[in-house]
């Protein structure tokens, strides 16, 4: 889609302003029902689009992404724009600067339509945990869009944006991409700067793109990847690499591993059937498929749900009612009386944080406390190293690893809200990529019929560290043959 729109812009068939107005009209017509956006930047978007049209009038060469309207998850800072991370505690926070990825996108003259809804501080798998609204799945508005980047996935799937950015801590790009029938990429940890991303769990978070096609995702990814001196965890690889140029459609000779641990009896048989069909399709495209083992993957969820809350507990300590964001109680009294200061901390968090955030902060604080650090956090980090070694061994045998993205299609609203453990199981196939730091992509591989709806099922490919080229090439080849 992006390439086609670019050619129309350059050929004079459309203008950036008319294209942007088309998507703004779609937001106005649809978003009252879908609820993908928290903030719409109408005037800013039209100014950005008009700037691109002026360049075209002058005969200047523009980037593939110039003038193409997209959306940004609301935990990624956009200068002088309200940035809430889906939480009341940041209800009035205006970001003073652009996140590194936004700075790069603006440098390419892309158009930002607005900020998308999300689970509060990215904690959730359904976007039901937003402090503001519930985003609905455009495929079936009675079902969740997934989370925590549900707003971004719904905006793309609902035709309210060409592309979107999300963040992925344990599957928060890939799972909603699967539920909404779009493509979502979690890059290698360190491939994309996290500067300007409101942190949830710093060793797991990674910004990535969503789009309707693998090529669209590759185009956006090419423009946000690369080293950033403001983020010490970024790697000096990928700068200005055109990942869209690697989409040859040819995967003959590639080897794909199927982890036997991912195909237990607990997998929905309908999802298993769609996955088996996808495996056969990869074979017809010339790839070799073999069974592999990831023996420690059975521990991935418990490891993730120890490490992640511990990092959440540390990162969210900054929201204390003093530094920035919401404040409850009088500041003067808080600063002069210890008891009043404690009350400010407690009351601000009690009012400002939602139930899921409080739950994870408490779990993390407990696991990091004296007497429990070694028993929980330290042990979880050791098992995390074993999970990473499993992938190192697997990638000596195969180029890619394939599985379903989720064990089921999108579920209905309220279906899992009262059972956090049941909700956490939505991440069973996705958390391993974050724990190991490897890249992974979700792409549509089929549908299953339920309640008269064709519900999308996503397939997940993962690759060795910094091998997004192979990952994108294989997903693109499948997509082209599938269509």
Per-residue model confidence as pLDDT tens digits over 22-41: 999 999 999 999 999 999 99
How confident is the model at residue 338, as a pLDDT? 65
pLDDT for 333 equals 55
172 is catalytic: yes
pLDDT at 33: 97
Query: For the chain, how many residues are written?
Result: 483
**pLDDT for 102:** 98
pLDDT number for residue 264 = 79
Strands (E), 81-198: 111-116, 163-168, 183-186
Burial 431-449 (b: 16+ CB within 10 A, else e): bbbbbbbbbbbbbbbbbbe
pLDDT tens digits for 359-407? Answer: 999 999 999 998 899 999 999 999 999 999 999 999 999 999 999 999 9
User: What integer pLDDT is reported at residue 337 of this predicted model?
Assistant: 63
Can 148 be counted among the known catalytic residues?
A: yes
Q: Which of 217, 203, 81, 200 is nearest to 148 (CA)?
A: 200
How far apart CA 394 and CA 78 sit, in angstroms, is 39
From first to last of its 483 residues, what are the pLDDT tens digits of the chain? 999 999 999 999 999 999 999 999 999 999 999 999 999 999 999 999 999 999 999 999 999 999 999 999 999 999 999 999 999 999 999 999 999 999 999 999 999 999 999 999 999 999 999 999 999 999 999 999 999 999 999 999 999 999 999 999 999 999 999 999 999 999 999 999 999 999 999 999 999 999 999 999 999 999 999 999 999 999 886 556 899 999 999 999 999 999 999 987 778 899 999 999 999 999 999 999 999 999 999 999 999 999 999 999 999 999 988 887 888 876 555 555 667 788 888 889 999 999 999 999 999 999 999 889 999 999 999 999 999 999 999 999 999 999 999 999 999 998 887 777 667 777 889 999 999 999 999 999 999 999 899 999 999 999 999 999 999 999 999 999 976
Compute the CA torsion angle 327, 331, 336, 337 (nearest 10 deg). -50
Cis upstream peptide for 148 (omega within 30°): yes
Helices (H) and strands (E) in the chain, counts: 16, 11
Q: Other CB atoms closer than 10 Å to residue 205's CB: what's the count?
A: 24
DSSP state of 262: G
Catalytic residue chosen out of the listed positions 167, 172, 222, 403: 172
Tell how far CA 415 is from the center of its chain: 22
Q: How far is CA 91 from the centre of its chain?
A: 22
Of the listed 73, 104, 416, 464, which one is catalytic?
Answer: 73
Selecting among 87, 125, 130, 148, the annotated active-site residue is 148
Q: Is 266 a catalytic residue?
A: no
CB burial of 346-381 (b: ≥16 within 10 Å; e: otherwise) equals: ebbbeebbbebbeebbebbbebbeeeeeeebbeebe
CATH code of the region 2-246: 3.90.1300.10
């Amino acid at each position: 889609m992006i390439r086609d729109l670019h050619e129309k812009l350059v050929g004079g068939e459309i203008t950036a302003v008319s294209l942007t107005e088309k998507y703004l009209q779609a937001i106005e017509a649809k978003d009252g029902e879908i609820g993908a956006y928290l903030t719409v930047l109408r005037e800013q978007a039209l100014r950005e689009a008009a700037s691109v049209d002026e360049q075209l009038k002058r005969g200047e060469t523009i980037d593939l992404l110039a003038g193409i309207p997209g959306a940004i998850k609301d935990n990624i800072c956009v200068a002088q724009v309200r940035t809430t991370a889906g939480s009341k505690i940041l209800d009035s926070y205006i970001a003073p600067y652009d996140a590194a990825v936004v700075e790069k996108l603006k440098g390419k003259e892309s158009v930002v339509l607005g900020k998308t809804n999300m689970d509060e501080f990215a904690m959730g798998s359904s976007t039901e945990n937003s402090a503001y609204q519930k985003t609905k799945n455009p495929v079936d508005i009675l079902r969740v869009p997934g989370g925590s980047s549900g707003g971004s996935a719904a905006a793309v799937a609902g035709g309210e944006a060409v592309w979107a950015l999300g963040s992925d801590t344990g599957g928060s790009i890939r799972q909603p991409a699967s539920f909404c029938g779009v493509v979502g990429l979690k890059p290698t940890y360190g491939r994309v700067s996290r500067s300007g991303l409101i942190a949830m769990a710093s060793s797991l978070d990674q910004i990535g793109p969503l789009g309707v096609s693998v090529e669209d995702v590759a185009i956006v990814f090419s423009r946000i990847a690369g080293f950033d001196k403001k983020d010490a965890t970024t790697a000096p690889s990928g700068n200005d690499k055109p990942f869209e140029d690697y989409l040859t459609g040819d995967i003959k000779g590639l080897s794909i591993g199927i982890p036997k641990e991912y195909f237990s009896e607990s997998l929905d048989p309908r999802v298993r059937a769609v996955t088996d069909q996808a495996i056969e399709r990869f074979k017809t495209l010339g790839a070799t498929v073999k069974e592999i083992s990831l023996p420690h993957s059975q521990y991935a969820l418990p490891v993730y749900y120890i490490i992640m809350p511990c990092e959440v507990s540390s990162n969210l300590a900054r929201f204390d009612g003093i530094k920035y964001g919401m404040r409850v109680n009088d500041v003067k009294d808080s600063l002069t009386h210890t008891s009043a200061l404690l009350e400010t901390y407690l009351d601000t968090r009690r009012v400002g944080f939602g139930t899921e955030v409080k739950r994870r902060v408490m779990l993390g604080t407990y696991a990091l406390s004296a007497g429990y650090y070694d028993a929980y956090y330290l042990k979880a980090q050791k098992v995390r190293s074993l999970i990473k070694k499993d992938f190192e061994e697997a990638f000596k045998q195969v180029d890619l690893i394939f599985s379903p993205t989720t064990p089921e299609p999108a579920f209905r609203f309220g279906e899992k809200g009262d059972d956090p453990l049941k909700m956490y199981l939505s991440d069973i196939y996705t958390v391993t990529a974050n724990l190991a730091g490897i890249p992974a992509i979700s792409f549509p591989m089929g549908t299953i019929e339920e309640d008269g709806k064709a519900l999308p099922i996503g397939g997940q490919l993962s690759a060795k560290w910094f091998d997004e080229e192979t990952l994108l090439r294989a997903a693109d080849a499948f997509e082209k043959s599938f269509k």
